[in-house]
Amino acid sequence: MQDDDEEEYRTATEPPIPAGLADLTAPQRALADYLRVDADLLSIAAQSSSAAAEPTAKPTKKELQRLIAALSAEEKDGFLLRLALGPELQSHTELLHRLRGTTAPATNPGSRTAAHLLDAAHTRRTERRRREQRRKAEVRAQHLTALAHDAESVWRQVEAHIATKQTNAYDRAVALLRDLRDACDHVGSGADFRQRITHLRETYQRRPGPIHRLNTHNLR
C-alpha cells in the first residue's frame, strides 16, 4: 500500500449512512450477497444507521396545494433554491417531510474512518468464529459423551457390519470405531477401547479387508 493510500485509509470517513441498514429487505440482502459485501462490515456500518421510516401514502394534488400554500415565502424560496442546486431526490424527500410536519431521515456522513470500520469488522468476525468454534466443540463433546455411554451398542453394530463381508460395510464399521475411539478417550476409557480393538483384530485376523482398514486409520 502506498503512503497516500495508507493516509486515506486512516483518515477518510464513511459516507452518508442510509436508514434501515440494520434491517435490509430481501431484495437488498440478495444484492448485498450478489456483490459479496462483507456481512461483518455491513453489521458494523449498520450500528450508526437509524431505523427505516414507515412508508406513508402518497399525498394527493389537492392536499399538496393546501400544504404548500401554508408555507412562508422564505421557506418556499429556500426549497426552490435547494431543488435547483442539490440532489433532486433528497430535496423532494425533504419537502414532503416538511409539508407533513415530520423529520427527514438523517443523511449526514458518519465520523468513523475506513480503518475503524475495517478493524471493527475484523474484530467482530474473529469473535464470531470463536463463538462458532466453541459451539461446535460443545456439540462434539456432547456427542462423544453420549456415544461412550452407548459403547456396547456401537460394538454390536461394528460386528454386524464386519459379518456382512462387504467393503462398504467395512468402511461403516471403521467410521463407527473412529468415533468410538474418540468418545472413549474423551471420557477416560481409552484403555478399554484398545483392549476391545485388540480382540477384534484377533477375531478377524484372516479378513484382510477389515484389518487393512483398521491399519489405515491406526485403530489399535
For 34-98, the DSSP string reads HTT--HHHHHHHHTTPPPPPPP-PPPPHHHHHHHHHTS-HHHHHHHHHHHHHS-HHHHHHHHHHH
Burial class (CB in 10 A: 0-12, 13-18, 19+), 24: middle
Cell numbers placing 97: 417531510
Q: In 10 A of CB 209, how many CB atoms?
A: 16
Q: For position 106, what pLDDT does the model report?
A: 46
In the prediction, which pLDDT does 184 show? 96
Give whole-number Cα distances, 136 to 131, 139, 149, in Å: 9, 5, 20
Share of the chain above pLDDT 90, in %: 46
The predicted model gives 175-191 an average pLDDT of 95
State how far the alpha carbon of 72 is from the alpha carbons of 67, 69, 75, 171, in Å.
11, 8, 5, 85
Give the integer Cα–Cα distance in Å for 178 and 213: 11
For residue 98, what pLDDT is reported? 60
- Domain chopping of the chain, boundaries: 3-50+109-133, 61-100, 150-216
pLDDT of residue 49: 74
Work out the angle between the directed axes of helices 208-216 and 190-203 (0-180°, nearest 10): 150
| Average pLDDT in the chain | 82
Q: What is the pLDDT of residue 108?
A: 47
State the first-to-last Cα distance of the chain, in angstroms, to the nearest integer.
54
Over residues 61-77, the mean pLDDT reads 77
Range 126-131, long-range pairs (CB < 8 A, 24+ positions): 128/40
User: Does pTM surpass 0.85?
Assistant: no
* % of the chain residues with pLDDT over 70: 79
- Exposed, middle or buried by CB within 10 Å (0-12, 13-18, 19+), for 158? buried
pLDDT, mean of residues 79-97: 61
Mean pLDDT, residues 188-214 taken together:
94
Between CA 184 and CA 86 the distance in angstroms is 72
State yes or no: pLDDT of 75 exceeds 90. Answer: no
Whole-angstrom Cα distance, residue 63 to residue 110?
Answer: 36
DSSP, collapsed to helix, strand or coil, labels residue 133 as helix
Per-residue pLDDT for 61 more than 60?
yes
